[in-house]
Amino acid sequence: MKLSEITKRGRSAALLWDECDEALASVNETFGEPFESARDTLNASLFNAASSEIDLETFKGNNNPLRFEDLKIMVIVRPSVLPTPDKKLDVLNVRIEKAEETLKLLKAERKSLIEKLKIKGHEFVTEKVITAFRRIK
């Protein structure tokens, strides 16, 4: 593959990304922001209702009152719940923290080893390629 061909494909992808980015910004301004605001209001209402008078199980299944047949849309309610404090849970949380710290140390050790192999001139192969796009200021 020649560099000129990659550059040509890059320009094509950049042009399409530019069109998509502008369209998404326009759509977000027109529809996304009002939707997010309405959803935030609904979520706050559901949270307040859950802590007072309404069981969120009411919003599961085909009898969900947030099922709007005329729109062919159903709002799915997924509450995130935590148990009241428990000694066993506290012990498990400490174990998780220790495991996360061990994982962090292992990742740092791996990164260090990779850097040492680069310095020694070790051969590397491309695992995968990921592209991202951003505006140039």
Give the pLDDT of residue 84. Answer: 80
Q: What is the pLDDT of residue 137?
A: 86
32-79 pLDDT, tens per residue? 999 999 999 999 999 998 888 888 988 988 899 999 999 999 999 998
Neighbour tally for 28: CB within 10 Å: 13
Q: Do residues 96 and 104 make contact, with C-beta atoms less than 8 angstroms apart? A: no
Pairing relation of β-strands 67-68 and 73-74? antiparallel
Q: Which of 57-61, 99-103, 104-108, 120-124 has the lowest mean pLDDT?
A: 120-124
pLDDT at 112: 94
- Indicate whether 119 pLDDT > 90: no
Domain ranges of the chain: 3-119
- Cα separation, 92 vs 133, in Å, equals 41
Q: Is the pLDDT confidence value at 110 over 90?
A: yes
Model confidence at 85: pLDDT above 90 = no
**Residue 43 backbone dihedrals phi, psi, to 5 degrees:** -60, -40
